[in-house]
Amino acid sequence: MFTGIVTDTGEVTGVMPGNALGDLKFTIATAYDMATVPLGASICCSGCCLTVTGKGQADGRGWFTVDVSGETLSKTTLGQWQTGKRINLERSLKLGDELGGHLVYGHVDGVGRIVSMTPEGGSIRFVFEAPEHLASYIAPKGSVAIDGVSLTVNEVEDDRFGVNIIPHTQAQTTLGIARPGDPVNLEADMLARYVARLLERTR
């Protein structure tokens, strides 16, 4: 479980075939002290919860490997990752940690895209387009995780919604290098999903 507060931006430094047909193994460079990260730990990688399968330190930087199934590659942006790709990283939440964002599970609901980016005061107004099946879970002033970043929704219109990205978030996450048309991993707020499910059962 995570909070959507990114603590490092890593870099994909290796992409290799995985242990099964259609799977991939990624090597990711990070500023994390990997001596404190056990094998089998979960790290949220641009919104996707992945398991550390290998780790080490080289040239003053940490690195870790993750194995990604063909299913995950087909349902997230990970299938498009290449060497040099910058990604948002967050280590898993510990009991007693500050919950600065909202509860993020690292279970990507779908891939959206950036429709537009417009300067607005000191921030940038992003408009995203969500997949049809996910749009109903996104509500004004509700929470959404975009590439693992916890954000507050400003407004919703059909399958599009807007958020404001402040300079700090631009500097600390990959949203600072995003461009219109880029795909993004979306995770709806878990509470919204359960409410929608309960409403379906009472109809």
Which residue reads 């090597």 in tokens?
A: 27
Report CA-CA distances (Å) from 161 to 5, 75, 141, 182, 201.
20, 21, 11, 15, 27
Same domain (yes/no): 114, 193: yes
Same domain (yes/no): 78, 124: no
Judged against a pLDDT cut of 90, whether residue 148 lies above it is answered with: yes
Residues 6+ apart with CB under 8 A from 28: 10, 11, 12, 13, 45, 63, 64, 65, 66, 87, 89
Same domain (yes/no): 114, 63: no
pLDDT tens digits for 91-114? Answer: 998 776 767 668 888 999 999 999
pLDDT category at 59 given cuts 50, 70, 90 is confident
Mean pLDDT value across residues 117-125 = 95
- Domain membership of residue 169 as a residue range: 110-202
Same domain (yes/no): 192, 141: yes
Question: Is residue 71 a part of any domain in this protein?
Answer: yes
Judged against a pLDDT cut of 70, whether residue 70 lies above it is answered with: yes
pLDDT at res. 193: 66
Our count of domains for the chain comes to 2
Same domain (yes/no): 22, 76: yes
Residues 6+ apart with CB under 8 A from 87: 9, 10, 11, 12, 28, 45, 46, 81, 147, 174
Question: Looking at residue 81, which CATH number applies to its domain?
Answer: 2.40.30.20
